[in-house]
Amino acid sequence: MNSQEKANKLSLVKGKESFIGSQKLYYGAAYYPEVWPEAEIDKDIIRMRDLKMNVMRIGEFSWSRMEPTEGNYDFKWLHAIIEKLHKNGIDVILGTPTATPPVWLAEKHPEIFQINEQGIQLSHGARRNCSYSSKIYREYCEKICSKMAQEFGNEPGLIGWQTDNEFSLAPDYSQETRQIWIDWLKNRYKSIENLNHLWCTDLWSQTYQKFEQIQMPTSFVNNHPSLKLAWTRFTNDMIVQFQDIQINAIRKFSKLPITHDGMPGQPVDYEKLFKNLDFAAINNYHSFEAYDLIQSNYDRLRGFQKGFHWLFETAPNYSGGGQTWYLHQIPGSMKAALWMNYASGGQGAMFWLWRQHRSGQEMTHGSILSAWGEETANYQEIKELGQELQKSSSFLMNNPVSKADVAILYSHDSQNGLQIEEYANGIKYYKDWTYRFYRAAADAYLIRDVIYPSADLSQYKMLFIPLLPIISEEFNIRLKHWVEQGGTLILGPMSGYRDEEWSQHVNHFMGNAEDWMGIYTKSVIPIGTTRRAEEIPFMLNFNPNLDIQKSEASLWSLSLWSPNGKTLANYEGGAHNNKPAIIENSVGKGKVVVLGTDPGKPALKKLLLKYASETGILPLARGDESVVVVPRKGNEQGFVIVNLTKYPRKITLNSGSKNFENILTGEKVISPDLSLKPFEVLVLKTNK
């Protein structure tokens, strides 16, 4: 290894174009060599090389091998495996084993396990069943992480760390956690009088005289919404604290970058969780029917602004725990799923898992090799993907995803709030956010980042905020300033109507935001995700200049008004008949568009394209939907294109060039009009 390669492996270059390890695409799997005879490892490596794999993720569940008895560490086996992999050109990402404590720790300290809301204490034999807030467990986790970092911090072939495994919002009801909860409430609200005021606890005779009276909410009590939301925030903070202990322990002895393998759609607040991490990673398990749902997750990873992201887990064929879920049944679909990640700015992807478990949990999960050592049914397709990534590595790593001028906002805090109070019956944040709103922008082929409220807004020209009930005062001020400086804000539906404690504003429906936007709410009527046949539909008539066909309102209906704004759509039918549903208003150098309802994807898509055009943003393409189109730009430029469907698709690139080379095949492409086969992938480099 030369000095430059060493520098790359020992540091993470900061900025949007940063990468981990070497400047190349990575491709591999989760590997559990601790459960197989040593003689099998050499056979495994031969197959890994055959598939062109160059990274393995190991160690995440092997605490009992690393520390078989308290204070007696055994890392020789792990050193030997990392060394063997490294000699064969395969790098390693090492996981901390804190999701699965060893039995000696369970026997010595059974109090580390969660107590569930029924008062039952969990026990040894599963994963993620310990209390994130347990002082004793935190101490033992810090020890093992420190020992690992001392042992492997400068290990050749190691390129990064993973904390724990798939944190989940599993609360603990122990007395230890209860005291921490009370202290958390005191720190947040300062006085019991302030909490009573913010939560309006006079209602239902809920007034507290002291913080110690506040219970830990459970699913079988209809607790106060503000209490429930505070509890999810508290539990998230316990996870972040637990992870920060590991991060700090590792960083004392290792400069290698650290991440966590998040799961999309979970209520864990990744805005908080990823703040102190070095790069972003995710686990995606999905059938080919849900590829259009999954696409948003890669835009979300890119929105963290932590450089090239990683896909840490996905199934090579099918997924399963106690049951099986079929994923990539159609030839070519598995490659398309992986290419969606690399196209959108991914540096690496790893299958779960390398070899099917021979016993224990998750034996039914798909893998690259069976438990008896045979190749899986789509082994050749996996091999083809490795070859394609080798061909594309230099182009993709030297030409990152082009800058996005459009951002769509996602919020786990609002997701948790909507689980407490639907308002629109049947709403599921992740799916409704994606299919109703994200897909309208994606299928309009507007290059976009998915961001969180803490993100820097200044780099974007247009911001779309759907399903954000909570707009904090701090974020409200930043939004106002951003719009006044020339930004175009499309707000709603179901945004801004709750304060930070999940209480109702009393000055306006959307609080202080209505005053600076100059758009006001007269009344609200919930509609829900589906309309019953007996109900009267709320239809929308659009301004004729927009060329948008009449559509049906969904989720809810706000009756809007504005002294100076321009009405874009009115309701037809129902209690809001002839009332404004969508209004645009100028604010400083910018403008705000308030969506008083969900107008439906076709109408929303046209509205997004209208305001993108007015803002000077050109869509990447036009034509059939559900195609990933991602521009790449560095010293060279081009596009990565993935058909996400089992149907042929036709699109036309809005490109100044009509002359491309398909890096995967070496063929020339001399037209921006593209006909794509089902699940086809193109890596197009622009020819000068």
pLDDT < 70 positions in the chain: 1-16
pLDDT of residue 320: 87
Nearest of 162, 199, 190, 202 to residue 58 by alpha carbon:
162
pLDDT of residue 16: 53
* Strand-pair category, 566-572 with 580-587: antiparallel
Amino acid code (one letter) for 366: G
Nearest of 312, 530, 369, 350 to residue 436 by alpha carbon:
530
Could you tell me the strand order of the sheet in which 566-572 lies?
Answer: 448-451, 406-409, 462-465, 488-491, 590-595, 580-587, 566-572, 539-542, 551-552
241 φ/ψ sector (left φ>0, alpha ψ -120 to 50, else beta): alpha
Question: Is 94 in a helix, a strand, or coil?
Answer: strand
- Cβ density class 619-633: b for 16+ within 10 Å, e for less: bbbebbbbbbbbbbe
Question: Is 311 in a helix, a strand, or coil?
Answer: strand
H-helix segments, 328-471: 333-343, 379-398, 412-420, 429-432, 439-443
pLDDT of residue 9: 44
Measured CA to CA, the distance from residue 276 to residue 226 in angstroms comes to: 27
Max CA distance (Å), the chain: 78
Domains and CATH numbers, the chain: 3-171+256-391 (3.20.20.80), 406-616 (3.40.50.880), 622-686 (2.60.40.1180)
Measured CA to CA, the distance from residue 632 to residue 621 in angstroms comes to: 14
CB atoms within 10 A of CB 288: 20
- Cβ density class 221-245: b for 16+ within 10 Å, e for less: eebbbbbbbbbbbbbbbbbbebbeb
Question: Which positions are annotated as active-site residues?
Answer: 166, 313
Burial class (CB in 10 A: 0-12, 13-18, 19+), 7: exposed
pLDDT digits (tens, 9 = 90+) for 7-53: 444 344 444 579 999 999 999 999 999 999 988 999 999 999 999 99
User: Is 466:494 a contact under the CB 8 Å cutoff?
Assistant: yes
Q: Which residues pair with 498 in a beta bridge?
A: 470, 504
Measured CA to CA, the distance from residue 36 to residue 372 in angstroms comes to: 11
Measured CA to CA, the distance from residue 567 to residue 601 in angstroms comes to: 19
Question: Is 261 in a helix, a strand, or coil?
Answer: strand
Q: Which residues pair with 320 in a beta bridge?
A: 324
Nearest of 596, 572, 571 to residue 583 by alpha carbon:
596
Nearest of 399, 353, 265, 454 to residue 684 by alpha carbon:
399
Q: What is the pTM of this model?
A: 0.96
